[in-house]
Amino acid sequence: MNDTLIYILIALLAGGAGYFIGRSLLSKLRKEEEEKAKEKADLLLKEAKIKAESIKSSRILEAKEKYLKLKSNFDEEVNRKKSQISTNENKLKQREQTLNKQLEQSKRKNAELDGIKEKLANQQEAVNKKKTELDKALLQHVAELEKIANMTAEQAKESLVETLKDEARTKASSMIKEIIEEAKLTATKQAKKVVIETIQRTATEHAIENCVSIFNIESDDIKGKIIGREGRNIRALEAATGVEIIVDDTPEAIIISGFDPVRREIARLSLHRLVTDGRIHPARIEEVVSKTRKNIEEEIVEIGERTVIDLGIHGLHPELIKMVGRMRFRSSYGQNLLQHSREVAKLCSTMAAELGLNAKLAKRAGLLHDIGKVWPEEPELPHAILGMELAKKYKEHPDVCNAIGAHHDEIEMTTMISPVIQACDAISGSRPGARREVMDSYIKRLKELEELALGFDGVNKCYAIQAGRELRVMVDAESVSDQKAGALSFEISQKIEKDMQYPGQIKVTVIREMRSVSYAK
């Protein structure tokens, strides 16, 4: 028991001694660290002061340099202004001297004029005296003549006037004949001069519309995707757009064939979107074609607005602007209709200005003269009369309406700009290479072919492809059965043989697609 107590006491004493020793050591270490920290802080403070002094001196030097530079610039500016002021003062002094000289000269002239006025007044008095004397002498002379001739002065005047009238009439009639003959000789020359100057001032490029568009692809591997399994993708695309898509050995290119430029453009843009997206299947094709068709409608409006702005025509009705945009996708005898109308508008403006007519109205009528060709419906009226009716409907100027209706002599010309429109239309169409009759007759035949098939019951869509050698007819599955589809293709072929003239043979394909749609809710 005593041993344990002793051990405990020893342990306690050892612990206390260790505690005090450790504490004294820690305090020493802290003091050493504080001294080191103070030394470091003093060093840093000294370094900072040295840096601050160097920065301060460099900044002071920079400020002095800037001050000297600004002062030199200011001195230069002051000297320049002083020299300018001195030159202006010299100019003012010179001007004052010249004005003083002019004032002295004007005073001298006024004095001279006063002298001349006095002389004139004296001369006027002398003239008046002589005039009164002459009047008296003339009266005496007339009285003596009346006695000699047994006629009064009034009777003599009347006889003299009658003789002068007869002479004037004969001279005037001969002069009128000469003027008419000269006008006949020079009218044709002047008209040719105006037309040639107008043509020379309006230069337009010509590009014949064709029936083929080229769609370029990066690699030939994409052709397989476009064709699809057993050709289902290409068939769906042709059915949705109404064009023929030719995928052959041509490297990195697909040919889109069709007579309607709008259909070709829709097919080209749809192909571009499908290839870019990578998802090509019938459902996706129909969706993309539908969106592209809407985008083309918006683009038509944009083209019309851009054309009107370029030509500087204001206040045109939105429907007429839309028709102007449609001209971009139509052709007349192979010539692009919008390009033709823009050219006619420029020619009309130039020719009307040369003839002293209203150039703005002439330009407006020139742009709108063929809007009857782009009306979506197919009326029986000629395009000039239809265009005139549309212009009247949308409240165009009467002169513009008459010019549109009379540019093919369907109605009588009642304004001066109507023959200008007719002449400019002929100029634009008669340029070398501007038009091609075969192209227009070919497109007209394909349109007639489609319209003939659309006249049958149950036909929804109809597309002429392969340059008119094949007619694809889409029918309504509910109203046309399979048996009736076969009969319908025969009836259409018989109707084509009976009513149309065409080279070779035309293949009539009736497509009946049955779709059953339901929705899971």
What total of structural domains would you count in the chain?
4
Higher pLDDT, 141 or 423: 423
Greatest distance between any 2 Cα atoms in the chain: 199
CATH of the domain at 296: 3.30.1370.10
DSSP 363-391: HHHHHHTTGGGG-SS--SS-HHHHHHHHH
Rounded CA-CA distance 410/396 in Å is: 19
The conformational region for residue 176 under phi > 0 = left, psi -120 to 50 = alpha, else beta, is: alpha
Whether 214 has a pLDDT exceeding 60, the answer reads yes
Please, are residues 474 and 461 in contact by the beta-carbon 8 Å criterion? yes
Helix, strand, coil percent content, the chain, rounded in steps of 5: 75, 5, 20
Same domain, 322 and 377: yes
Please, are residues 366 and 424 in contact by the beta-carbon 8 Å criterion? yes
Q: Which of 334, 410, 417 is nearest to 368 (CA)?
A: 417
pLDDT in tens, 256-286: 887 777 888 888 888 888 888 888 888 888 8
What local confidence, expressed as pLDDT, does residue 257 receive?
A: 81
Percentage of residues in the chain with pLDDT exceeding 90?
0
Higher pLDDT, 261 or 462: 462
Same domain, 327 and 384: yes
* Rounded mean pLDDT, 292-303: 88
Same domain, 341 and 409: yes
The conformational region for residue 242 under phi > 0 = left, psi -120 to 50 = alpha, else beta, is: left
Q: Is 26 part of any domain? A: no
Rounded CA-CA distance 342/308 in Å is: 9
Amino acid in position 214: I
Same domain, 425 and 453: no
pLDDT in tens, 383-409: 888 889 888 888 888 898 998 888 888
Whether 479 has a pLDDT exceeding 70, the answer reads yes
C-alpha 472, offset from chain centre: 38
What local confidence, expressed as pLDDT, does residue 207 receive?
A: 45
**HEC string for 279-292:** CCCHHHHHHHHHHH
What local confidence, expressed as pLDDT, does residue 208 receive?
A: 45
Whether 474 has a pLDDT exceeding 80, the answer reads yes
Same domain, 288 and 362: no
Same domain, 421 and 321: yes
Q: Is 336 part of any domain? A: yes
What local confidence, expressed as pLDDT, does residue 124 receive?
A: 82
How many other CB atoms are there within 10 angstroms of residue 473's CB atom? 24
Of 311, 334, 356, which one is at a domain's C-terminal end? 311
Q: Is 516 part of any domain? A: yes
Please, are residues 124 and 118 in contact by the beta-carbon 8 Å criterion? no
Tokens of 409: 């002599």
Same domain, 234 and 324: no
Percentage of residues in the chain with pLDDT exceeding 70?
82
Of 392, 413, 435, which one is at a domain's C-terminal end? 435
Predicted TM-score (pTM) of the model is 0.48
Question: What's the residue count for the chain?
Answer: 521
Q: Are strands 507-512 and 470-475 parallel, antiparallel or unpaired?
A: parallel
Please, are residues 257 and 246 in contact by the beta-carbon 8 Å criterion? yes
Rounded CA-CA distance 112/219 in Å is: 99
Q: Is 362 part of any domain? A: yes
Rounded CA-CA distance 57/238 in Å is: 84
Same domain, 96 and 79: yes
Whether 379 has a pLDDT exceeding 60, the answer reads yes
Same domain, 301 and 325: no
- Mean pLDDT computed over every residue of the chain: 80
Rounded CA-CA distance 236/280 in Å is: 10
Q: What are the residues facing 257 on neighbouring strands?
A: 212, 244
Which runs of E-coded beta strand occur in 150-294? 212-216, 244-246, 253-257
* Rounded mean pLDDT, 427-439: 57
How many other CB atoms are there within 10 angstroms of residue 390's CB atom? 21
Range of the domain at 503: 443-521
Q: Is 154 part of any domain? A: no
Whether 139 has a pLDDT exceeding 80, the answer reads no
Of 281, 311, 341, which one is at a domain's C-terminal end? 311
pLDDT in tens, 34-90: 888 888 888 888 888 888 888 888 888 888 888 888 888 888 888 888 888 888 888
Whether 24 has a pLDDT exceeding 50, the answer reads yes
* Rounded mean pLDDT, 443-447: 78
Higher pLDDT, 6 or 211: 6
Q: Is the dihedral of CA 25, 28, 34, 35 positive or negative?
A: negative
What local confidence, expressed as pLDDT, does residue 148 receive?
A: 67
pLDDT in tens, 229-264: 888 888 888 888 888 888 877 677 788 887 777 888
Q: Which of 7-21, 145-159, 308-322, 350-364 has the lowest mean pLDDT?
A: 145-159
Same domain, 356 and 414: yes
Tokens of 365: 């009528």
Q: Is 179 part of any domain? A: no
CATH of the domain at 466: 3.30.70.1350
